[in-house]
Amino acid sequence: MKTKNTTQRACTVIAAAALALMSSLAQAEFSDNVVKIGVLTDMSGAYSDLAGPGAVLAANMAVEDFIAKEKPVFKIEIVSADHQDKGDIAANKAREWFDRDKVDVVTELVNSSTALAVIKVSKEKNRIALVTGAGSSRITNEDCNDVTVHWAYDTYATGNGTGKAVVKQGGKTWYFLTADYAFGQSLEKDTTAVVLANGGQVLGSVRHPFPSTDLSSYLLKAQASGAQVIGLANAGADTINAVKQASEFGITPAQKLAGLLMFITDINSLGLKATQGMYLTEGFYWDMNDETRAWSKRYFDKQKKMPTMVQAGLYSAITHYLEAVKAVNSDDTQKVMAQMKKTPINDFYAKGGKIREDGRMVHDMYLMQVKTPAESHYPWDYYTVRATIPGAEAFEPLSQSRCPLIKK
């Protein structure tokens, strides 16, 4: 059993013969002759299923595949730790990694409070942050910086995709059940804008502590509102608890639930009977094409679960980072960031993806509908893709950006 906040070291690989390594490093610019990647995630809490150990696995797969394909002459090392969903713990660990362990890039960062705390430290220390798990749109707006990339999704994209679809299906009146911290607040705000823009009405909201096992009093307030749709502005275990308790109290199916950020692991935990027909917005689905299936089956063989968009996105982000390091022959933050931003992302996760000036990695998102039990023909066959949302439409346009880096 892993202890909390314990750094794990893995995957240290010398990718060339000693002579070749010494010759290359004489011309290269590596701070300590090694590229160090820190995976800072929730290993034990509400988000551990959608990120956690599976994210560490995805990071290791990215390093192993990069070494096998590119045969780099620099060493790569991964360290990982549990931030326990606490911003102060995350910031302290990141600072320790940067100062003592010479970590070059910190990544994953599920939970927006931890991400917002860490990207401030990474800016202070001039180290790269690749955010795959956190969702708050503040990361590329008020709190943006030039060393952070927001990779997998954000609350604007998921709220925009799901909110618009539910309103178009007749869900005109909404009430929000919101996790009371940065992520939930951003998700409620971004989805509210979409609902109103498409002719819907918001009757109110209630905020619950994060994490929460008993949501009964909050759900009863949502029920009393009479809203057609209860928007779940939460994620992970909180969303799972909300769906289960809404059913137990007879709130559904009289009122619809809109899962504004749901993951395939949530659907797997709840089952198709409880989630059938729900709309959700994803950046990745394992069963979309031959490329996604091939990678996901390799992942499944080790994790015994299919990957979430957070875990698949982490693989993509680390691979793109390492390719940039190799291209510039350096782990210098500004050189690597410049290379990452000028190079398109073309992998199983994103086709034609690009990193904007605000740090947003723009890629297609997908509106999914959960299948009925009768429609599912094999394990993890959970989604029907209802629409592809082009990246330019999925993410907040730069014309609306509140990022200080964007000059208008």
Q: Which residues of 128-138 are buried (b: 16+ CB within 10 A; e: fewer)?
A: bbbbbbbbbbb
Asked whether residue 405 is domain-assigned, the answer is no
Asked if the structure places residue 401 within a domain, the reply is no
In a domain, 163, yes or no: yes
Any idea what the Cα angle at residue 178 is, between residues 175 and 180, rounded to 5°?
145
Residue 395 covered by a domain: no
Neighbours of 240 (CB within 10 A): 23
Instruction: Give the span between the Cα atoms of 340 and 360, in whole angstroms.
Output: 12
pTM of the model: 0.91
Residue 104 has pLDDT above 60, yes or no: yes
331 φ/ψ angles, rounded to the nearest 5 degrees: -105, 15
Residue 86's alpha-carbon distances to 125, 128, 165, 360, in angstroms, are 20, 20, 33, 24
Q: What is the pLDDT of residues 272-307, one digit of tens each?
A: 999 999 999 999 999 999 999 999 999 999 999 999
Q: Please give the mean pLDDT across all residues of the chain.
A: 93
**Is 195 in the same domain as 67?**
no
Under the banding of pLDDT at 50, 70 and 90, the label for residue 33 is confident
- 233 falls within a domain: yes
Same domain, 326 and 264: no
Are 272 and 292 part of one and the same domain? Answer: no
Nearest CA to 60 out of 37, 94, 41 is that of 37
**What was the pLDDT predicted at 30?**
87
Does residue 135 sit in the same domain as residue 16? yes
- Residue 400: the pLDDT is 95
120 shares its domain with 45:
yes
Q: Is the pLDDT of residue 38 over 80?
A: yes
Q: How far apart are CA 258 and CA 243, in angstroms?
A: 10
b/e map of 170-180 (b: 16 or more CB within 10 Å)?
ebbbbbbbbbe
- Tokens representing residue 272 in the block: 């198709």
Residue-wise pLDDT tens digits, 66-97: 999 999 999 999 999 999 999 999 999 999 99
Task: Count structural domains, the chain.
Answer: 2
What integer pLDDT is reported at residue 26 of this predicted model? 39
What does residue 51 show for φ and ψ, rounded to 5 degrees?
-130, -105
* pLDDT at res. 12: 37
The pLDDT tens digits of the residues spanning 329-372 come to 999 999 999 999 999 999 999 999 999 999 999 999 999 999 99
Cα distance between residue 198 and residue 214, in whole Å = 32
306 in the same domain as 261: no
Q: Is residue 63 in some structural domain? A: yes
Half-sphere exposure for 61 (CA within 13 Å, toward CB): 23
Domain CATH number, residue 125: 3.40.50.2300
* Structural domain that includes position 310: 8-153+288-362
